[in-house]
């Protein structure tokens, strides 16, 4: 868990999983379930998880056409990252569901080497998930949280 509850987006959860013996990481936001997957990671990459997270978050926020001012504030919020044990089992359930969707997409594309990770991440944030008893779409929740901040 990347703990930053006092920020616009709040805490982020991370999970390492394997696809075709390749290390992959999924990052999921606790307020919105907005997520992204980073593939083909090495031990050295994972040791630099903070930099990897910030670099990929920036890329995904640009892909979602978030305004530059909001992106700057979100990235400022992520300058200091504290890694701690996961505490919210509901987020873990959603994370496991997103990993399942990712695996299905990899199978449909006949392997990890055949996927466009940006396209897959775009699909994942359009997945209908349950958060706090309501069905949501992470992309829409991200925009709502940004508007209400």
Whether 120 and 108 have beta carbons less than 8 Å apart is answered as no
Give pLDDT tens digits for 74-107.
Answer: 999 988 887 777 778 888 999 999 999 999 999 9
Average pLDDT, the chain: 92
Predicted model pTM: 0.92
Give pLDDT tens digits for 113-144.
Answer: 999 999 999 999 999 999 989 999 999 999 99
CA distances from residue 66 to 1, 19, 60, 98, 131 in whole angstroms, order as listed: 24, 30, 9, 22, 22
| Whole-number Å distance between alpha carbons of 43 and 73 | 30
Report how many domains make up the chain.
1
| Whole-number Å distance between alpha carbons of 111 and 50 | 28
Domain with residue 110: its CATH number is 3.30.420
Q: Which domain holds residue 72?
A: 2-147
């Amino acid at each position: 868990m990347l703990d930053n509850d006092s920020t616009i987006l709040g805490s982020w959860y991370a999970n390492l999983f394997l696809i075709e013996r390749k290390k992959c990481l999924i990052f999921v936001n606790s307020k919105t379930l907005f997520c992204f997957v980073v593939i083909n990671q090495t031990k050295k990459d994972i040791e630099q998880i903070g930099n990897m997270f910030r670099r990929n978050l920036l890329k995904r926020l640009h892909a979602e056409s978030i305004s530059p001012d909001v992106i700057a504030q979100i990235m400022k919020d992520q300058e200091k990252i504290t890694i701690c044990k996961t505490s919210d089992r509901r987020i873990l359930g959603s994370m496991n569901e997103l990993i399942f969707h990712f695996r299905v997409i990899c199978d449909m594309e006949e392997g990890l080497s055949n996927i466009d990770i940006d396209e897959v991440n775009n699909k994942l944030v359009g997945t209908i998930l349950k958060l706090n008893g309501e069905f949501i779409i992470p992309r829409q929740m991200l925009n709502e949280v940004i508007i209400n901040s």
